[in-house]
Structure 1
């Protein structure tokens, strides 16, 4: 008998993966958590029946949400990660030897526990002595820690359920206050094909708060449409002004000095979504 997992990516679009085995299924106080062994993408983490990450394509998302910002900031010492309980973002951050402290705030302990058990390739960064894991509300954390971080990464789920507040103007203003005088932040901002209104709203809001706002993109096959965006808000540094020849080599599969620059080359239909 064939077993398939199906995600309703929009009201009119689904993606299905054939499943070899259900490795874990549970429900936390926040969401349904499952780990599936799929034939196409390997081990896959889903939350509330929405694909979060998998072994086959995870590196694209995790490398882009981290290295673009870390290589834009002149000297990032203290980094905050909100969400991203699978650990992939933390894994990429600790590749940067100049980073002295990573504070990882994840609201759901079950996601962290599942990542440690079923995704050792992603959660390996949790073992780095520079990493502090806090099971807490990221929105509350940024409000309580002003002028603290050089970089903040918002590795959130889609803007539903616990993550809704991570896409609000109030939150972005709290992020601004939590950053040091030359700080910057990066957030995942969904698909230009299926979330165009969100991208317009978010980039407009962030550009009203941060002197530098940039949208950049990558390809993540299991996310709706495959074409995914990230938004950077920066108090000082412009990622387009980075001397890519000075970017140190990293153990990456997607990100590179060339990708750092070309990720900001946007198609005309995406440019139309941005503030004029």
Structure 2
């Protein structure tokens, strides 16, 4: 099954420029951050744009229980209105940068494992070929879940665009129309100056450096790992709230980080998924 994104190409030079332009001597800035002041700013999109995605997954017709909040991708987005022949249409560009070869993707899951719904995560290259596809188990309670690209899958290539989607089928055997979220990840290479700062920074300083340099997936994963290690730390909790508020997802900021999710099956698939 192909992801509904339309394939598009992005030159390496454009992506690398984003990191080089954003990079600056941020060591002192990272140290000066106060709890609850962490902010994330989306970089300018690549010149050829980002395809429309979906950061919320509403209940499908008559099958999936309605929840508030809904299935949510923890990814920055920008909504815009397009003028169509049938009238205006609001779409969302859902995307983020990473420097990681095997990034982690984060979602708010409103369902627990008592429901037994099949869940699927997939990552595709810009030609629609599957890079990774796996079933995912549900958490024991609603909350924030993670899906990490395993080391058995080839590393993401710098300068390349990858499409991901996360589906919940509210019926057994993946029948019916799922609810889903979908977006884009672009891998970039930090310049030498920024890399040196990252290597010498503490984990909390890295969070600020990643955020200042528009590396979303690195930012949220590093902060989430810190929160998992110290769940009662008020400063980390304040930073988590501030980070999600800065990308307009404050309604899932209080959701617990769950010890989930285990891949039910993994695949490094060559060719297109039919």
TM-score with structure 1 setting the length = 0.23
**Structure 1 or 2: more strand by fraction:** 1
Higher RCO, 1 or 2 (CA under 8 Å, sep at least 6)?
2
TM-score with structure 2 setting the length = 0.23
**Structure 1 or 2: more helix by fraction:** 1
